[in-house]
A and B are shown apart, each in its own frame.
Chain A
Amino acid sequence: MGASTLSRRRRGAHAAVTVRRRERWKWPVVAGMALISASALFPLYFLVSNALRTNADYAGAKVGLPTTFSAGALERAWEGASVPTYLRNSLIIVVGTVILSVLVATFAAYSFSKLRWTARGKAYLLVLVWIAVPPLILLVPLYVQMVELGLFDTYWSVILIYTAVNLPFNTYLMTAYFRSLPDELAEAARLEGASVHQILSRVLLPLARPALATLVIFNFLWVWNEFIFALLLLPSDETKTLTVGVLQLQGRFNLDPTALMAGLLIATLPVVGVYLVFQRYLVRAVAAGIGR
């Protein structure tokens, strides 16, 4: 008994030392993390501060705060990158791709996780196996294919390509999430007479909100930011995306750096907004996605 009291006391002392030690290393570590946070915020600061100043002011001081305020750069970027048209194109493509991706991946995941059929393991692999194919190597054949299908320079060309190249990962994520939901749920609904479709729409989907949110955010970000396929497949002003539009402002950098920054800022704000809205779902759904 005496020994156990002693050991408990010693343990208490040890814990106190640990806490003190923890305190000591904590503040430098927090300072380091704050520095990393600052670097993560830097591009936004850089864009905002330079988009709102004049070119002369930018040339004078590149790091410090602006000494002038001017919305001129925003106006020039808005027109130079034809923002209203390109923004519309980007939104149509993003929304179209996200809807199609979520639908197709959810259907496939439902089939691969909850419906019993003979070749489902093989079919699942057949969807998954393309996960490491670099999309860039498909650029030439997809270009030819889209011309042949008559889809070149239409929204559909990139919507179909984006959906396909992200489908392996999307399907994987949804399947893992559905598998983490107990089979008894579907079984109980089935006994109560729910159809195959009702089990998906009324039982599984309401529970899959974190996974759906993750699909929406990952695909939104990826599609919004993609520019190689968009650059080559959507050359005309009527179909060009905003990311490609601001990329082309880069050529004017030497003449008008602040307009470039303003264009980049306009193209960045929507994704930051979407991230802020959906971020609370991220950790939970990724946790399910990595099968834990």
Chain B
Amino acid sequence: MTTGNQPILSVRNLTTCFRTDRGVVTAIDDVNFDLRPGETLGIVGESGCGKTVTSKSIMRLLPERTSFIKPGSRILFRDGDRETNIADADPATMRRIRGAKIAMIFQEPMTSLNPVFTIGWQIDEALKYHTDLDRRARRARAIEMLKLVEIPNPERRFHEYPHQLSGGMRQRVMIAIALCCEPAILIADEPTTALDVTIQAQILQLMENLKRKLGTAIMLITHNLGVVAQVCDRVLVMYAGRVIESAPVRDLFHSPRHPYTKALLESIPKTGKKEHGKRLPTIEGIVPSLFDLPPGCRFRERCAYAQPRCGKEEPALVPCGDAREVRCHFPLQSPASLTVGASA
């Protein structure tokens, strides 16, 4: 039951700050994007670029004491006709949304499961809070969920503890907990980063199947561009707390507009013979500290195309072509010089 093409989640001017010993630091600055029903949105960027802060802001999981969402930020969640601004929702509203409407899975499945309770208990907990099923119905539902995420012997596993499961199994249990209330949005924060490639393939395939079956919109946070290419519809590239490019996945890989996106794509080792043993193109330097951001464009110091203007004014995120946006004074134009994905 999707309401046309209206975004289910609209993030506008989202700015999240942390209070630290060295003063207030802005971890994500003016983030804007839409998520539509059934869509998989990839958020990519290097560590510290604000991917996780974005997702935790949406879940309102950041510590209240040390962080705050700046007034004026809006995180509009549409549930049927009702629109909620998550950015200033009260705790009671958040409890209704979190877990039930928007669910999240984390990178490290061991630390996000409670070691002293059985996995059955942990799925049951989510159902207890968010549904009015009775005990027996909840148990049936939990076992059904374990089956759905392809855990062998679900009746037996129901009574097992997290330490009895392998890493891949634990991530499946996390997915089962996240999806047991049929959320409209699943936020997956580096769900496969800690897993081996063969297990990663299992989890990605599982998420793809579930998305098709349940129509869940997925926000996939990752630094693995291969994963993005294989499963995402749209991509948001972040750098030092800013969204610097957003585009449909094919456009992004074929003709990145932002020099950072281009450099990021080029720095992945390629499979196949052609590239063997060659030097990889790199991005020299390191990400600037959020405490000490340079004036102008945040990528300027590492950018191969930087011009004097880039050091003076920071570019805005502006539309460029079909359904895409870029934050650059001199966006790249021709895809002709690119080597990425040229093998197709």
Q: Do A and B come from one complex?
A: no
Binding site for A on B (CB under 8 A): none
